[in-house]
Structure 1
Amino acid sequence: MWRNTSGGWGLPSILLHWLSAVAVVGLFALGWWMTGLGYYDDWYYLAPWWHRSVGMILFGATILRLVWRACQPTPHSQGHRLERIAAHLGHIALYVLMLVVLVSGYLISTADGSGIQVFGWFEVPAVISGLRNQATLAGIVHWYASLILMALAIGHMLAALKHHFIDRNDTLIRMLSPTSSRRKMD
C-alpha cells in the first residue's frame, strides 16, 4: 500500500500527485485573479501572501515527490508504444515546468532581498536577489511557464480520461487507489 510496484502507485505517490494537482490549479487561478486586484482591494496583500506560502509548500512537496519517485519503481505504462513515449515525455515536461514555475516565483518574491514568509511558520531565505531586472524577467518566465503547465495538465487529465473511458484500462484507477492494481496482481 505504501510503496509503488510495477503494477500500481503507492499511497505517498498518489497523495503527492493529487495534492500537487490541486495546488497547481489553485495557484494558477489565484495568480490569475490577483493580477487584477487594485491597491485598495481587501485581498491586495493577502492573496500574494497565500500564493507565495502555498507555492513554497508545493516547492517542498515537489522536491519530496521527485526524491520519492527516484527511490520507487514506476508502474508500467499502458497503451501502445507511442502513447507510452508521449506519457513519459509528458511527465518529464510536467515536472520541469513545475520546477520552472516554482523557481521563477521564488525569484520574483525574493528579488528585493527579502525572504518568503510561509504562513508565518518559517521563512525561506532570499538566496538569489538583486539581479538586474530579476523580478521582471522571472515574472515573464513565471507567467508563460504557468500557462504552458496548465495546458499540459489539461492534456494529462484528458489522456487519463481517454485511458479510462475509451481504452477501458486502469490507468486512472491506479492513481485513485493504491490497492486496485495489487488485487489484480494477487
Structure 2
Amino acid sequence: MQKYSITMRLLHWMTALLVFGLFGVGLWMRNLGYYDPLYQVLPYWHKSVGFLLAGLILLRLLNRWFTASPTPLASHRAWEQRLAHLMHWMLYLLLFGLFISGYLVATSDNRPASFFDWFDIPALFTAFENQEDVAGLIHEVCAWSLIGLAGLHALAAFKHHWLDRDQTLRRML
C-alpha cells in the first residue's frame, strides 16, 4: 500500500485540527459580550492561529508540488478521482478565501495584525467601504462552506473505509 509522505500526513491532520478549532473559536467569539474577559483574548489567538494556518497551507501546497502523491487505487472510478480532485481544490479555494477575508477584517482599521506578538503583519490597504462588515460576511460564508466540505470529505473517507473496504483512509493515517 502506498501511503502519503509523513510530511503530507502531518500537514493534513494539523490543518484539520486547526480548521475545526478555529471554526469553534470563531463561533464562540461571536457570542462574547464587550465586558467578557475573552473579548480581546480570543480574537488575538484566532488571528494568530489563522495566520499560522495560512503558512501551513502554503507549506502544504509547496510540499504537494514537490512530493508525489500515491497513485489512485485501482478500485477508484474515474468520476470519484475527478470529484476528489475538485473537492481538494475547493477546500484550498475556501481556505484562501478565509485567509484573505480574515486579513481584511483584521486590518480594516488600518492597523497591523499581530502574529503572536512576534511580529506585525502590516495593513497594506483599505480595499473598500465597510471592509470589516463585508469581509466578515465573506469570512463567515467561507468558514461554514469549508466546514461543510470538510465534513463531506470525511464522509467520503469513511465510505471508502467501511463500505468500499479500500485503503483510502489508511493511506492518510
TM-score by length of 1: 0.88
- How far the C-alpha of 1:123 sits from its partner, in A, is 1.5
- How far the C-alpha of 1:141 sits from its partner, in A, is 0.6
The equivalences for 1:158-173 within 5 A come to 158-173=155-170
Letter in 1 for 2:170: I
1:100 corresponds to which residue? Answer: 97
Q: Does 2:108 correspond to 1:111? A: yes
The equivalences for 1:140-151 within 5 A come to 140-151=137-148
Give the distance between the partners of 1:14 and 1:160, measured in 2 at CA: 14
Q: Cα RMSD (Å) of the superposition?
A: 1.3
Give the distance between the partners of 1:76 and 1:115, measured in 2 at CA: 43
- How far the C-alpha of 1:75 sits from its partner, in A, is 1.8
1:131 corresponds to which residue? Answer: 128
Q: Does 2:15 correspond to 1:20? A: yes
CA spacing shift, 1:170–1:136, aligned 2, 3 Å:
same
CA displacement 1:85-143 (0-9 Å, x = unmatched): 11010001001101101111011001111111111122111123363221111111100
2:66 corresponds to which residue? Answer: 71
Q: How many residues align?
A: 171
Letter in 2 for 1:70: W
2:26 corresponds to which residue? Answer: 31
2:88 corresponds to which residue? Answer: 91
TM-score by length of 2: 0.94
Q: Secondary structure at the match of 1:123?
A: strand
Give the distance between the partners of 1:24 and 1:128, measured in 2 at CA: 26
Q: Secondary structure at the match of 2:2?
A: coil
Contact persistence 1:31–1:51 (CA under 8 A): yes
Q: Does 2:42 correspond to 1:52? A: no
Identity %: 42
CA spacing shift, 1:133–1:58, aligned 2, 3 Å:
same
